Amino acid sequence: MVKIAVLVSGGGTNLQALIDSEKRGELGCGKLHICVSSNPEAYALTRAENHGMKTAVVRKKDYASTELYSEALVGLLNSEGVELIILAGFLTILPQSVISAYPDRIINVHPSLIPSFCGEGFYGLRVHEAALEYGVKVTGATVHLVSEIVDGGRILLQKAVDILPEDTPETLQRRVMEQAEWLLLPRAAKMMCEEIDSERN
């Protein structure tokens, strides 16, 4: 099995989508192994524990430098034998040294159709506020590989979601999660795990 680490900061709805997918046998050779949070209060940790996953908290502010934070995070992931990292609402931008340690093995879900409404400063409700302000009729979600450019890695999967005339940022955020993010992330995880597994064999 390909061991997966899910990095979180908050409630963990995307983690729950992965957990539900694993329960249904849809992650293929992937195994949700450890949940790493940047926030000790994150409800995602409870979701992970309830699913039997290992949990850990690694906060950037607990380290004197970015280098030490990177070493701690990579050290933890290596010690757990992690082969795929999924960013699921992880609000810390990964240092280059972490990305370099797992080239093309870190994926992220972003709540827009990249290249629209992405990059520095575009996260959470801000993405949906921008889409509504701009007046676009279609938005969606993207799962992409993580590179040194924020939201700039190779796109793996995308799914479009219509914007309704009465949408608020909150209603749009919910619908993009339900109709796109929660479907794409498990599919991308399975796809990546199969790729990793085939390279090993």
The residue extents of the domains of the chain are 2-200
Helix (H, G, I), strand (E, B) or coil at 1: coil
pLDDT grade, residue 39 (50/70/90)? very high
Query: 163-177: per-residue pLDDT in tens?
Result: 999 999 999 999 999
What CATH number does domain 2-200 carry, 1.10.300.10, 3.30.420.40, 3.90.1150.10, 3.40.50.170? 3.40.50.170
Q: Going by C-beta distance under 8 Å and a sequence separation of 6 or more, which residues neighbour residue 62?
A: 69
- pLDDT score for 119: 87
* Residue 110 annotated in active site: yes
CA 175 to centroid of chain Cα atoms: 17
Mean pLDDT across 1-29: 96
Q: Which two tokens mark 179?
A: 């109709």
> Which residue among the candidates 33, 51, 110, 128 is catalytic per the annotation?
110
pLDDT digits (tens, 9 = 90+) for 59-111: 999 999 999 999 999 999 999 999 999 999 898 889 999 999 999 999 999 99
pLDDT classification of 152: cutoffs 50, 70, 90: confident
